[in-house]
Structure 1
Amino acid sequence: MANQPQSLTVPPARTYTRADFTALRAFVQQIPPATIARLYYDPEVAPHAATPETMAQFLRTMRDELVQLALLHGSPVLADHLKTSIRKHGSAKLTAVSLRMVEDASRLAAAVPAPHHAIGFWFRPLVAQRLAGEGIMTLQALVDYCNTHGGSWWRSVPRIGPLRARTLVAWLRRHESSLGVRVAADVDTRPFVPTDEAVVIGGDPATPRLAPFERMAVPAALSGGDGAGAVDGVRARGTNRAGAFAFIRAPHDLAALHAYLHRYRDRPATLRVYTREIERFVLWAVIVRGVAVSSVTVEDCEAYKDFLAQPAPSFTGPKRPRISGRWRPFTGTLSADSQAYAVRVLRAAFRWLVEVRYLAGNPWHAVHDPATVTQETRVQVDRALPATLWKQLRDALDHTCSQETVETGARQWRAARAAILLMGDSGLRRSEAALATREQLQPADVRVSLRADAAGEVTSKVVGDPADSTARIWTLTLVGKRRRQRTVPVSPDTVTALRAHWRDRGRDFDASGASGPLVAPLVVPATQDARRRHAHGNPGNGMPYAADALGCLVRTAIKRLARRLAEQGTLPASCSPEDLAQLASTSAHALRHTFGTQAIRQMPLNVVQTILGHTSLQTTSIYTRAGRQQMLDAAGRYYSAGEETLVAAGG
């Protein structure tokens, strides 16, 4: 028997991923299996990484299978070396060099990426978790996400910066043939560097050349300028240009509109929305109507009203960064209120151009606003979270912040918690929360009623003893909407969350003279805009979040928590699936409504008005109105009672 030729039994064909080969190299270098499982695998995708024992068994099996393949496909020298090692030790003892030779000889065992493969099958667990947080579960979903969002797709995925994004896109491009799907050409593998070069708008309205207002240039014939610039007999100077001396030095329409918008340089929110409406109109006038802004007539204005009701497909698209080639001026059809707002903004802009004697008249004066329906409430109170759901969100935040590790983003979770509590417990707008600073936050003593004695007199206690920091009430003085200053209370829970966030930033919240933004980014993204904003300050210390970035931080955290609560099934019975769906879609501003609806039950109306910064008490009173569900429940009880009355009366 011993002298009979031995046959080599080759196991069934098996595939391994890049992560498997990396893990095997670590195993050969005697790195503990538990460490290998934690570094290279996601247990939900790779069951063999659940325990150190199963991890070690998997790697030993993989090693033996690769050795057998190498014996078949490798060189005679490698085969003799492996056979000698097997006779001596019972199994092949590999070194880093021999393992590399085995891998080269057994490439037939390498897996081929497929669209349905899970992300965790090919990428490290931390990367897979961050992608899964945005609902990207498969390679097909990742390609679709990149193609939908363009070159800046990584901006909306927490902790996926441009370098890692470039690596992922390059990997997808290398495996396009096996995946059977292609990454769009404008999803560049290089970081996008914004340029100040102007883009001349125009072209066919079906495939136009579009550009945001700050990068926009208009063909000379449609510029409304003072120069010759005539093309095909069309005069460059607008037909509505005033003949008298103008009060602004504007040689053409774009310069005049820039001068108008410059008036709002100290009101960034107003500047942003006015710029949006003006750039939309300029793009439409030049590309669709083929007329200079300073030459539009009442008929042109009426035509633009119709365009607002149904923008052309070439002008609409998902929201994208303004530096992206996929940016579009519209995200879809505008509501009647948004159409009316656009007309009012343009009417005001043209009125100013007439006042400074750039234009001779205002054609928008002869145009009526689009018809609108007066809403029951202009404040979307229904977006507020119910009290039980708000408490569940807070508990889930606390639990997540205590359970997460540094590697999985604990610091980012604590930053989100501080921002969420700052808005949900004090009714701040996201722009107010983003600009709030430590200098504006001060402790205050408050007097609270305890009980009434036999004579009916109420005894009270002063809360705010420095020795009792948990009971201390804090106040935040800020400048809010329309440049109005107000002071709002800040809860002890919020201050505790802020202290934890400041520790993550390496700063002492309670130090004498502590200053800086209450909530600040811990890492500055590797983008030109971010680096320019933080050029004069260190991450976490100097510059605050932008309002949009803070809103994104809050939305992302709440969406991820909602997904976890749904998967864990830890919601109380009082929370319906509709409540969970509402939580998943909760925005930063909805937290302000959450505060308003709950504060109105325990505070006087005028106090809530002061905290929220409402000019009119009527606006604050909206929070006292019955919610839609409350109204329906009451109506149901009323109708049921009416039917019972009729039955009792023999009706």
Structure 2
Amino acid sequence: MNLAVAPTEPVLAIVLPAALDGSLGTNRASGGHRQIAADTDVEAVRLWLAEYSASPHTLRSYRKEAIRLLLWATQTLGKPLSSLTREDFLFYERFLAAPTGDWADPERPRRGRTRRLFEGPLSERSQHQALGILSGLMTYLVSAGYLAGNPLALRRGRTTSARRSRRVERYLEHALWDHVLASVEQWPRLTERDEQHYERSRWLIRLLYHTALRVSEAAHAKAADFYQRRGKWWLHVIGKGGAEGEVPVGDALMADFARYRAFHGLSPVPAASETGPAVMSIAGDDARHLTPAAIYLIVRDVFRRAADALDAIDSIGATTLRRASTHWLRHSAASHQADAGTDLRFIQKNLRHASIETTGIYLHAEDDRRHAQTTHVPSAQETSGPPGNRPA
């Protein structure tokens, strides 16, 4: 099986065999007025992806799913995307739950032309997200007059309320988060490079946790995005789809920011005219931003080291940390704010959720109280009191 894809895709750089390029796909629309000039599947998908060029995080996520489907359809089924049927997508759903062979081969690199396209089986939630993205692609191609129909439109969906009724699980309990912070302080700092890595990692995990930023938002954040209003600090954020928001910033985080900047010889407080990033390269280069992938790897390294330090005394906690990633810090921030009694409407604004129902999945404290009151069964003595007070 050949899983070769271009090492970098400006939008979508992938080459399919001429016989499988989709120009003769059985689901191609005939007649009518075409809204796009594309005549092959790759050209059509490239135009769909271009609609998301202003949102790098969304573009990366959508491109990943498009590449997976294009390669799977042509290499596993020997069919172009524009010939896929509902039965084919049922097969693809089963594949997402258990990708095998080269698709998830741990010996393959994570990057480059021959990279593996899966880390392993997708969770139910990730499967649903992948198929939702692909359904959006197919709907776009139908609306553009490229495809005759969307096979995924026949898929039986789950209701929004059912999907969101379960509490989020990918977050760190308070004690585990405290351990992560403490473990970073134990890192050896024998060289200048060690010091630089320590200071950047220390600042980055605090930034992600206290602001609940997505990894792409942190990658593009500028120092000048921190600003004061009425004596309070805020962070201006450009999120998914270019949506703008603002997040409250406490004095503790600003003190950590001042420390990080001072380490690199910068003023404690950024000037409004600064163009440098909020998180710099390891040597403090303020001329370029880190990539989301670099931030992801830094955070994973922090969690890995914290897990290693915890192995001997808490293997379950160590296992949790080895699963954790950047998005866990966003979930942890929301969960901890909810535990502290922060108004749910404020958490919704801090995370920039469109619906407060989404924010409701972080209300763990309410579940804890319900669990305690439900599972605590009073003893006979508790219910009847001292012997002399028992009813006859």
Instruction: Give the Cα separation in 2 of the matches to 1:382 and 1:301.
Output: 28
What corresponds to 1:141 in structure 2?
none
Larger radius of gyration: 1
What corresponds to 1:239 in structure 2?
26
Q: Deviations over 1:341-379 (max 9, x none)?
A: 333333322222222222233333344459999456455
Indicate if the aligned counterparts of 1:385 and 1:583 stay in contact, CA closer than 8 A: no
Instruction: Give the Cα separation in 2 of the matches to 1:492 and 1:444.
Output: 14
In the alignment, is residue 417 of structure 1 matched against residue 202 of structure 2?
yes
SS at match of 2:278: coil
What corresponds to 1:216 in structure 2?
14
Indicate if the aligned counterparts of 1:416 and 1:557 stay in contact, CA closer than 8 A: yes
Cα displacement (A) at 1:416: 1.0
Q: Deviations over 1:40-61 (max 9, x none)?
A: xxxxxxxxxxxxxxxxxxxxxx
What corresponds to 1:338 in structure 2?
126
| Residue from 329, 332, 335 that aligns with 1:597 | 335
SS at match of 1:610: helix
Instruction: Quote the RMSD (CA, aligned, Å).
Output: 3.5
Output aligned runs, 1:357-436, within 5 Å.
357-369=145-157, 374=162, 377=165, 380-381=168-169, 383-386=171-174, 388-397=175-184, 399-400=185-186, 404-407=189-192, 409-436=194-221
| Residue from 563, 575, 586 that aligns with 2:308 | 563
Which deviates the most, 436-445 or 256-265?
Answer: 436-445
In the alignment, is residue 490 of structure 1 matched against residue 243 of structure 2?
no
In the alignment, is residue 268 of structure 1 matched against residue 13 of structure 2?
no
Q: Deviations over 1:124-178 (max 9, x none)?
A: xxxxxxxxxxxxxxxxxxxxxxxxxxxxxxxxxxxxxxxxxxxxxxxxxxxxxxx
Instruction: Give the Cα separation in 2 of the matches to 1:544 and 1:610.
Output: 26
Output aligned runs, 1:636-647, within 5 Å.
636=375, 638-641=376-379, 645=383
* Structure of higher RCO (CA pairs closer than 8 Å, 6+ residues apart): 2
For 1:249, give the aligned amino acid: A
Structure 1: gaps of 5 or more residues = 1-206, 226-236, 446-463, 465-472, 524-538, 570-575
In the alignment, is residue 610 of structure 1 matched against residue 345 of structure 2?
no
Instruction: Give the Cα separation in 2 of the matches to 1:393 and 1:289.
Output: 46
Q: Deviations over 1:526-581 (max 9, x none)?
A: xxxxxxxxxxxxx62111112221122122123324434667x8xxxxxx664455
What corresponds to 1:143 in structure 2?
none
Instruction: Give the Cα separation in 2 of the matches to 1:612 and 1:215.
Output: 33
Distance 1:291 1:370, change over 3 A: farther
Indicate if the aligned counterparts of 2:135 and 2:152 stay in contact, CA closer than 8 A: yes
SS at match of 1:626: helix
Instruction: Give the Cα separation in 2 of the matches to 1:322 and 1:414.
Output: 27
Cα displacement (A) at 1:303: 3.2
Indicate if the aligned counterparts of 2:176 and 2:317 stay in contact, CA closer than 8 A: yes
In the alignment, is residue 517 of structure 1 matched against residue 299 of structure 2?
no
Distance 1:375 1:645, change over 3 A: farther
Name the % identity.
28
Instruction: Give the Cα separation in 1 of the matches to 2:357 and 2:320.
Output: 26
Instruction: Give the Cα separation in 2 of the matches to 1:285 and 1:311.
Output: 13
Cα displacement (A) at 1:407: 4.0
In the alignment, is residue 282 of structure 1 matched against residue 282 of structure 2?
no
Indicate if the aligned counterparts of 2:135 and 2:150 stay in contact, CA closer than 8 A: yes
* Equivalenced residues, count: 380
What corresponds to 2:225 in structure 1?
440
For 1:505, give the aligned amino acid: H
What corresponds to 2:96 in structure 1?
308
Structure 2: gaps of 5 or more residues = none
Q: Deviations over 1:257-301 (max 9, x none)?
A: 111211111122222222222222222221221222222333333
Q: Deviations over 1:211-242 (max 9, x none)?
A: 367442211122223xxxxxxxxxxx223333
For 1:489, give the aligned amino acid: P
What corresponds to 1:101 in structure 2?
none
TM-score by length of 2: 0.82
For 1:494, give the aligned amino acid: L
Cα displacement (A) at 1:382: 5.9
Indicate if the aligned counterparts of 2:227 and 2:233 stay in contact, CA closer than 8 A: yes
SS at match of 2:236: strand
SS at match of 2:228: strand
